[in-house]
Amino acid sequence: MNVRIAGATRLALSLAVAAALCSGAARAADPIVLQWQTANLTESQYEPIWKKTIAEFEAANPGIKVEPVLVARKDHWTKFVAAAQAKQAPCIVSVDLTTAAYNGYLLSLDKFWNAEPASFRSAWNPDILTAAKWKGQLYGLPIWGGTYGEIYNRDLVVKAGLDPAHPPKNFDEYIAWGRKLTGDDHWAMAVLGGKTDTTTRVLLTWIWANGGEAFNADMTEATFAKNPKSLAAIKTYLGFARKGGIAAPAPTTTNYLEQTNLFAQQKIATMRNAYWSVAKVVGDNPALKGKLFATSNPANVPDAPTLATVTASSISASCKYPEAAWKFIKFDADRKWSIERAVVANWMPMRNDIADAPEIKADPMLAQFVAMGAHARSYPLPHPAWAEIAANDIVDAVQKALLDPDKTDQIFRELDAKVTKKLNDI
């Protein structure tokens, strides 16, 4: 009996050791899997590039696999927050950097950045890097950006009897153009009031173009209604959506996607957007290729700033393989991919060493957006509560004002009070 038990024990032990060895061997052979989430992976103009980037990265780094996490733009932030709270966030993310860093969702990149040679680090201007810092620490590597300008459909402009060589320079001229570009079933433009921060981006460009400010200098006070120029700009812009105005209907459900769809279908003649929207529109309606032109935003003050988004790649705090993640971020930030993103997806490069690249020089519209960027303010605005303020509070006020225009003053006064409280409650 004892002999039988001893034999059985030995057999069990041998099997256990063999199983442990096998599983250890399997684990050693398993590649590191890095999840990658940005709001843009679902955009068709970017798809061929990111697929190529991943394929080449994996070929160069056989031990690492990159798994894209495809999330609709409107769910991008909430999905990230839910995952970050569970300490299961994708390793590589592009999110509202200040808010995410403040909440402890991101890893400081200083260790990796400082270990890189000066030749690598010098490809980013200090100003650009400032937009990726929180409390002096680097939390993201700026990869691409988008400067907001006014993009027109040349055919529709000419058809309306307008001269593309002399686009509107100020609000009054814009309104005059708008009236001519609006007909029974088509409109000059679309007012954005859908529930994402794109609504806020466009609103800010109108405020700044009128010499207004949405916040005081140290971002401790909101001045949407307090600053008369801001309020005047808000009323002008949202007023386009009034009955008989120059904007497409349904502004409270219109966002980037709806706006570009309307533009691609030639239902609207102009859109306030970044250069990447051109690639999206031409992808949706190839007949528009070469028929678009861009100008600076019409402004009532000289040298009015526009808005330039800075999208940075970050490493989430819960990432198990930060070294591998940094390797991918570096790879993705390479000159080659920056040029390809600019040419194919129309994303503005953030590196300072590719302005002279022949591919970039060959694109006059890109050059135009680069020039507009000289007077741009970086976005998101640097405040920990910005993600909520931009996607919730401001959008809510815009929607309310669109639905009840006569109460615009009151709505934005209430917004000032609400946002000021949030700005100081961190």
Partner 1 sequence: MDLAPRQRQRLTGYLFVAPVALFLAAVVIVPLGSAVWTSLLRVRGLRSSFVGVANYATVLADETFWHGLARSAAFTASSVLLHVALGLALALLLAELRTARTALRIAFLTPWMVAPAVGATVWLWLLEPQFGVVNYLAQSAGLIGSPKAWLGEPLSAFASVVAVDVWRGVPFVMLLMLAGLQTVPQEQYEAAALDGANAWQRFRYVTWPNLRYLVVVATTLDVINTVRHYDIIGVMTGGGPASATEVLPVLLYNTAFRGNRFGEAAAIGVLLLAIVLALVVVYIRITRIDRDAGDAR
Chain residues that interact with partner 1, rule: CB under 8 A: 74, 77-78, 81-82, 84-85, 99-100, 102-105, 193, 195, 248-253, 258, 261-262, 265, 267, 317, 385, 387-388, 391-392, 395-396, 399-400, 402-403, 426
**Nearer of residues 345 and 391 to partner 1, judged by Cβ:** 391
Shortest approach of partner 1 to residue 103 CB, angstroms?
2
Interatomic CA distance for residues 57 and 15, integer angstroms: 39
**Minimum CB distance to partner 1 smaller for 74 or for 341:** 74
Nearest to 40 by CA among 402, 341, 367, 328: 341
Degrees to nearest 5, angle at CA 275 with 272 and 276: 110
Rounded CA gap, 98 and 228, in Å? 29
- Residue 125: phi and psi, rounded to 5, are -70, 145
In the complex, minimum distance from the CB of residue 252 to partner 1, in angstroms, rounded to a whole number: 4
Give the burial class of 213: count Cβ atoms within 10 A of its Cβ; 0-12 exposed, 13-18 middle, 19 or more buried.
middle
As measured in angstroms, the least distance from the Cβ of 102 to partner 1 is: 7
Nearer to partner 1, 170 or 261 (CB): 261
Residue 221 or 388 with smaller CB distance to partner 1 = 388
As a whole number of angstroms, the distance between CA 389 and CA 394 comes to: 6
**Residue 209 or 402 having the CB closest to partner 1:** 402
Q: How far apart are CB 259 and partner 1 at their closest, in Å?
A: 11
* DSSP assignment string, 139-182: --EEEEEEE-EEEEEHHHHHHTT--TTS---SHHHHHHHHHHH-
* CA–CA gap between residue 282 and residue 266 (Å, rounded): 12
Asked if 102 and 381 count as a contact pair (C-beta separation under 8 A), the reply is: no
Q: How far is the CB of 92 from partner 1 (least distance, A)?
A: 19
Give the nearest distance from C-beta 192 to partner 1 in angstroms.
12
* CB of 340 or CB of 416, closer to partner 1: 416
Instruction: Report the phi/psi class of residue 377: left, alpha or beta, with left for phi > 0 and alpha for psi in -120 to 50.
Output: beta
- For partner 1, give the closer residue by CB, 191 or 372: 191
List Cβ neighbours of 321 (8 Å cut-off, separation of 6 or more).
32, 34, 64, 91
Residue 395 Cβ, how far from partner 1 at the closest point, in Å? Answer: 8
Q: Between residues 123 and 288, which has the closer beta carbon with respect to partner 1?
A: 288
Least distance in Å: CB of 388 to partner 1?
Answer: 5
The residues, ordered by sequence, that sit 6+ positions from 306 with a Cβ below 8 Å of its Cβ are 147, 148, 149, 205, 208, 209, 296, 297, 372, 373, 375, 376, 377
